[in-house]
Amino acid sequence: MLALHAVSKPMLGVLVSTAKGSVPLSELSFCRRLIQIGRQLGIHVAAFNSESIHPEAGRIDGFVHHDGAWRACSFPLPDIIYNRCCNYREGKTARSQLLRMASILECPCTFLSGGLPGKWGVYSSLRTDPLLSPYLPLTMLFNKDRLRNLLSRQQGVFLKPQSGMQGKGTLCLQEHADSDDSPFSLQGRDHSNQTFFHTYSNFNEAYDWISAFIRERPYIIQPFLDLHSSTGRPYDVRALVQKDGTGEWKLTGTAVREGEPGSLTSNLHGGGTAREVAGYLQNQFGTQPSHSILKKLNQLSMYIPPVLEARYGRLGELGIDFGIDRSGQLWILEINSKPGRAVFTEIGDRSGAIAAAARPLLYARYLMRRHCPAAIHTGTIRHFPSFQLS
């Protein structure tokens, strides 16, 4: 095992979810990219999971990618921690262990970015802003009466887990007035992201199945919006906004995520495909309307991060998902503080893909200069190599 306790350059630790395999880490490709860029920036990068933290020993066991292979290593508490752990329980445990280690060592524990609450908390924060409220679909916490009342006024109701990701656990309940035997239909994705479709003879039967499926997990409900292309494919637009090496928000890029016909979601993990945004919207709405839609989408993408930071503290990057209905109306669907970035590679946006991976490190370097006085004092982070996004 490589021992990194004597590393002289500043260090970024990347916390990821546990996965199966000889290297038990998720997002290995992204971690490898971060390690490569870190070398160019003079920052040591290592990846680890929640099981690797040993507070009393003052040590974290993780992995680095070196000489073309993953190698086990151990290291002290990093200068900055980049939390990419998408498993709620693992992330909570890891954060507690890291803070305990910092307390034992009497040193700071600095995270690259804070997090966001569930979808209901984010919606509640954004709806108080008069510039954002027109772009937010009606959202309510799930219960039987709300579900029944909303369904009586809409063509369908969309149900989402408050803390869900990748489209898992999403449901759409619809009532069909022209069907006597099975007037209620439910389609969705289970918690393994597999699709299903059921029909029911009455509302109570549908609700009982939904209640058993949801159990005690908190859900929100929204009107089912017609967010489909002219060919019937569901789609949304992912905007990635990140802080750069000066601590300022930048729009890294946008891309369309398009699902299969009849699919409930457009997430890449659910079988969706990434498309270049400008041409896609032009095909849907025409040249001038698509320019207006994309301009407003970009403006909202830059407006939202400071609004959320004012409520939840310092953030480093956000994935903002927008829906666009057939009239061209923009809707803010979801905001994720641990966004993916595979869309840029899929659409061939090389500069966007490079920036998406590099900006967390550039922002980490900015934080190290501001929040790591011990490293500055020893001279280890006074002179970083330059790095060009190209």
Looking at the structure, do residues 133 and 256 belong to the same domain, yes or no? yes
**DSSP, res 133:** G
Query: Does 54 fall in a domain?
Result: yes
Domain that holds residue 94: 2-110
User: Residue 190 has what pLDDT?
Assistant: 85
Looking at the structure, do residues 129 and 202 belong to the same domain, yes or no? no
| CATH code of 100's domain | 3.40.50
Looking at the structure, do residues 26 and 83 belong to the same domain, yes or no? yes
Domain-ending residue, one of 190, 223, 256 = 223
DSSP 184-249: EEEEEE-TTS-EEEEEESSHHHHHHHHHHHHTT--EEEEE----B-TTS-BEEEEEEEEE-TTS-E
User: Residue 216 has what pLDDT?
Assistant: 85
User: Residue 196 has what pLDDT?
Assistant: 87
Looking at the structure, do residues 217 and 336 belong to the same domain, yes or no? no
Looking at the structure, do residues 207 and 90 belong to the same domain, yes or no? no
User: Residue 381 has what pLDDT?
Assistant: 42
Rounded average pLDDT per 10-residue block, the chain, 390 residues = 63 96 95 95 95 96 94 95 93 96 95 94 96 97 96 92 80 83 86 85 94 92 92 94 97 93 65 89 97 98 97 96 96 95 91 95 93 46 48
Could you give the C-alpha distances from 60 to 23, 36, 152, in angstroms and in order? 15, 21, 54
Rounded distance between C-alpha atoms, residue 80 and residue 320, angstroms: 24
Looking at the structure, do residues 89 and 205 belong to the same domain, yes or no? no
Strand 44-48, strand 11-15: pairing: parallel
Query: Does 178 fall in a domain?
Result: yes
User: Residue 372 has what pLDDT?
Assistant: 59
User: Residue 389 has what pLDDT?
Assistant: 53
- C-beta of residue 93 within 8 angstroms of C-beta of residue 50: yes
Domain-ending residue, one of 200, 223, 246 = 223
User: Residue 81 has what pLDDT?
Assistant: 97
Q: Is the dihedral of CA 283, 269, 14, 354 positive or negative?
A: negative
User: Residue 375 has what pLDDT?
Assistant: 44
Looking at the structure, do residues 90 and 38 belong to the same domain, yes or no? yes
